[in-house]
């Protein structure tokens, strides 16, 4: 069986390592990696290949930046050419980025079966580019690998059901266990940032709905600045957020009391999370990684796809997007004591379940 895997954005490099490991230890399967180049900075892309030992992609394009339509269109055309020359048995895509949609659409049009990993997530907010990508990728997919029961139900609600929907758990949990099960793999980032023995907050902000809304961004930063009076707040900055902040004088004062860093590699981020008191983020992946490390989280968005964590008390959304609303959510999360949560994201072997299913089905 030949799998052509499309990756392009930071979380996809991390997710891909789980399946790539499973492929490496399985006979009769070959994986060809295609990197669209949606993310291209060293600390947004290459660092993950180096650290996680992800193979050099056979196809590497330079198709990042620009508007959504422009980016997706360029990727669609390049992926189509690669699919035509590779003739894989399956085209595998992850998550909800423009690279995901381009891969799913290119393959579906060529009648190459599409496997969508992290299928069925919904925010029910069609203004998010990611929501459009997820819905369309799910509807183009042949096989849908859902991380949660909620995702399975979301798909059923759209008429996608039966054996082609498989509840396999979350590949990000597979990858998080590389550090959780092996504390020796932690880096010295906590010491490097002078945080040893101190409580601290880890925050990331990169979503378009955050960065394109100055009032919201400033309210979040002001709330983080209040928190920084009590404990340090570490903010690794996505390149877009860095650009936005550079043109936003209202954010300068708050930003000056936060500890801003460059985007972090996988092991630095996991090591930082392992010792954190709280996570404040608009990222989908970080919400779950916080939970894997048993750190409470405030998600600074109007809604989240990972509703299990709200129900379990490990995550909360602000009731309003002014400073007070965000501070209240932060105070609530710091005071909370969520209990033992079980395993809402599977058994940590999602990649193996995916590969087994594909090898049985894709003949």
Cβ-contact 143, 358 below 8 angstroms = yes
Of residues 99 and 166, the one with the C-beta less far from ligand UD1: 99
Q: Determine the Cα–Cα distance for residues 24 and 326; give it in Å rounded to an integer.
A: 45
Total of chain residues touching ligand UD1, rule CB under 6 A: 18
Of residues 216 and 349, the one with the C-beta less far from ligand UD1: 216
Instruction: Candidates 1, 26, 41, 177: give the one binding ligand UD1 (CB under 6 A).
Output: 41
CA dihedral 96, 205, 348, 17 (to 10 degrees): 70
- Looking at the DSSP bridge assignments, the partners of residue 145 are 117, 166
Instruction: Candidates 75, 97, 148, 287: give the one binding ligand UD1 (CB under 6 A).
Output: 97
CA dihedral 39, 95, 271, 281 (to 10 degrees): 90
239 binds ligand UD1 (CB under 6 A): yes
Instruction: Candidates 39, 134, 316, 327: give the one binding ligand UD1 (CB under 6 A).
Output: 39
| Mask for 277-306, x = binds ligand UD1 (CB under 6 A) | ------------------------------
Q: Would you give the DSSP letter of residue 314?
A: S
Instruction: Candidates 35, 116, 206, 353: give the one binding ligand UD1 (CB under 6 A).
Output: 206
Q: Which two tokens stand for residue 185?
A: 């793999």
Of residues 65 and 157, the one with the C-beta less far from ligand UD1: 65
Q: Determine the Cα–Cα distance for residues 190 and 205; give it in Å rounded to an integer.
A: 20
**Least separation, in Å, of the C-beta of 175 and ligand UD1?**
15
> Could you give the 3-state DSSP secondary structure of residue 143?
strand
Query: Among the candidate windows 4-12, 46-54, 189-197, 351-359, which touches ligand UD1 by CB under 6 A?
Result: 4-12
Helices (H), 264-322: 266-274, 284-292, 307-312
Of residues 175 and 228, the one with the C-beta less far from ligand UD1: 175
Q: Which two tokens stand for residue 17?
A: 């390592």
9 binds ligand UD1 (CB under 6 A): yes
Catalytic residue (choose from 21, 39, 116, 206): 206
What would you measure as the largest C-alpha separation in the chain, in angstroms? 60
Instruction: Candidates 60, 110, 129, 231: give the one binding ligand UD1 (CB under 6 A).
Output: 129
E strands present in 98-219: 114-117, 143-146, 165-167, 201-204
**Has 206 been annotated as catalytic?**
yes
127 binds ligand UD1 (CB under 6 A): no
65 binds ligand UD1 (CB under 6 A): yes
Instruction: Candidates 6, 7, 33, 44: give the one binding ligand UD1 (CB under 6 A).
Output: 44
Of residues 98 and 142, the one with the C-beta less far from ligand UD1: 98
11 binds ligand UD1 (CB under 6 A): yes
**Least separation, in Å, of the C-beta of 208 and ligand UD1?**
6
199 binds ligand UD1 (CB under 6 A): no
Q: Determine the Cα–Cα distance for residues 205 and 207; give it in Å rounded to an integer.
A: 6
Query: Among the candidate windows 52-60, 96-104, 173-181, 188-196, which touches ligand UD1 by CB under 6 A?
Result: 96-104
E strands present in 64-107: 90-94
Cβ-contact 283, 307 below 8 angstroms = no
Of residues 21 and 206, the one with the C-beta less far from ligand UD1: 206
- DSSP-assigned states of every residue in 221-276: HHHHHHHTTTS-EEEEPPHHHHHHHHT-GGGHHHHHTSEEEPPP-HHHHHHHHHT-
Residues at the interface with ligand UD1 (CB under 6 A): 9-11, 38-41, 44, 64-65, 96-98, 129-130, 206, 239-240
Which residues are known catalytic residues?
A: 206
């Amino acid at each position: 069986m030949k799998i052509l895997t499309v990756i392009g954005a930071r979380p996809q490099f991390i997710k891909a390592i789980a399946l790539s490991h499973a492929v490496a230890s399985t006979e009769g399967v070959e994986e060809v990696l295609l990197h669209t180049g949606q993310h291209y900075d060293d600390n947004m892309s290459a660092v993950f290949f180096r650290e996680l030992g992800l193979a050099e992609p056979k196809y590497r394009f330079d198709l990042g930046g620009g508007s959504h339509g422009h980016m997706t269109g360029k990727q669609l055309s390049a992926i189509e050419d690669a699919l035509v020359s590779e003739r894989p048995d399956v085209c595998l895509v992850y998550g909800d980025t423009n690279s995901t949609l381009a891969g799913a659409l290119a393959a579906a049009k060529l009648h190459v079966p599409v496997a969508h990993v992290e299928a069925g997530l919904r925010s029910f907010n069609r203004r998010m580019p990611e929501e459009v990508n997820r819905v369309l990728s799910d509807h183009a997919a042949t096989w849908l690998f859902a991380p949660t029961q909620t995702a399975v139900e979301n798909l059923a609600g759209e008429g996608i059901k039966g054996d082609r929907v498989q509840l396999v758990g979350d590949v990000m949990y597979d990858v998080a266990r590389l550090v959780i099960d092996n504390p020796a793999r932690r880096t010295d980032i906590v010491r490097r940032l002078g945080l040893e023995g101190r409580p601290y907050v880890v925050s990331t902000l990169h979503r378009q709905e955050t960065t394109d809304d100055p009032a919201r961004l400033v309210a979040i930063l002001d709330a983080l600045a209040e928190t920084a009076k009590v404990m340090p707040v570490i903010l690794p900055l996505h390149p877009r957020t860095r650009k936005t902040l550079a043109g936003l004088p209202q954010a300068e004062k708050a930003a000056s009391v936060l500890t801003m860093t460059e985007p972090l590699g996988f092991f630095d981020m996991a090591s930082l999370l392992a010792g954190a008191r709280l996570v404040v983020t608009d990222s989908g992946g970080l919400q779950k990684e916080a939970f894997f490390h048993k750190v409470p989280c405030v998600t600074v968005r109007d809604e989240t796809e990972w509703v299990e964590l709200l129900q379990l008390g490990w995550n909360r959304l602000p009731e309003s997007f002014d400073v007070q609303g965000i501070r209240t959510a932060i105070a609530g999360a710091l005071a909370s004591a969520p209990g033992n949560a079980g395993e809402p994201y599977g058994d940590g072997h999602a990649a193996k379940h995916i590969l087994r299913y594909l090898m049985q089905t894709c003949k």
